[in-house]
A and B are shown apart, each in its own frame.
Chain A
């Protein structure tokens, strides 16, 4: 089989998850230099949104804005200048539950806000409104492979269209009864600015290819639990390599028999 390798530079990272608040504060934990303390994901208020939208925005919007803005700020860029690849395995779980509950009741009138927040691209829509970005956004879902699908889409955009691209991958848990059918542990968001050429903010060069090798796991049981139970946390082996600042090769989970190998070379 032909092996195609896609390369890009990571110029900024944003991260929010249980016990992980921001990339700078999480690096030592993910690198295994500090103990991981599991705590519910802390979601900041989306200050950039107008008051009406801020009131209507659910957890996944907060997650999207916080991680996207952190990554873009770290890269020293204007968020309005970047095309975006947005991937999520779920969308807004609470909103979905509320709609299904109303539709199963004797009064099926759902609220207009609930309805427009039900689209899978609601959070990236709020992202564009908040940042003023009129750039394209690809909005994806691939169930447990959602992070891998987003990474591939963003890498092809960097390579083929020669543009710096923002990748945002977010997952939001469902309340019961959907939680039982799809138990996502907690809110988790990872954002990365991917650039075609090295710059002043570049952290590492990554080279991505499809692989049949087994996905790498994490030594820390708690972090491995996150990786296995939140699709966006399938990115953790890549984050660990970046946090350790060492060159090497890791393999990320994607589909059952197809995975994503990433060669990492720190800048």
Chain B
């Protein structure tokens, strides 16, 4: 009996909430439509930002930029993100409650666009503009995302290949007397940003190698092999063999073992780790082997992003260099775009850029502001 009463009450409460929800939505619409200019003048808009992560230093740097810009523009922001980049359901929930806050604009870096489609269309029908950042919202319906503040990850990957090739990799390939192997360590084969960084690197490398009159083939993770521009996908017969490894689970241990496996191959000359996780795993994996470094008997290490360990590895020339994004400027750009969109101004994509850093230039003002511990 008791249970029945409770469930009846719950039903009433649920219906009640739905009715109230509908009512207030109408109220919002009318205020949005009628008085947009007035709002712009007063400022103080509320912006909800849902990122792909929160704990990592990278996201903390984005948050720092966003906070700075918010203060400058006099708006309030709420920056949230799931514990880890595999918590897709958590992110959907966060995004849902962000919409329920009825913010003036939403910032979103999607973990899984499909899982967010419902919520995105809800935001659209509530006339809340969405700005993508970092990896953005790949594959979102046309017009759903007004603009993106992001690193062009493909271009960043290309930069890693180009700079690495220029610095040492090119000479090693040209002078090799047998086939050589280049390892690509990727955290996963699902996130667009990670995939593009990998593909950018692989495709550019292929271009450079072929321009020097050598052949190249690719092996390893099927996703990368399939999507890459390298044509020889089956044999391991190129002068340069690209091998892509992706761990089954994102743990330090598994990635470190992957790195060791690569380092133990006789023909290995270079390993590229496409994010901070992979970079750190390269350091751990190298701990017992001591194979990374400069010189012809060593393996060339190229990393991505920063963090205390990777910075130290670059500084000590264990890695010849690394790519850094500009997370602080990404955060700033994101808030800027959000505010503009909320105030009805037109917005378009902004590439927040990336930089190649080595032990020589990493202390310069231009670079160091984007390096974090």
Q: Do A and B come from one complex?
A: no
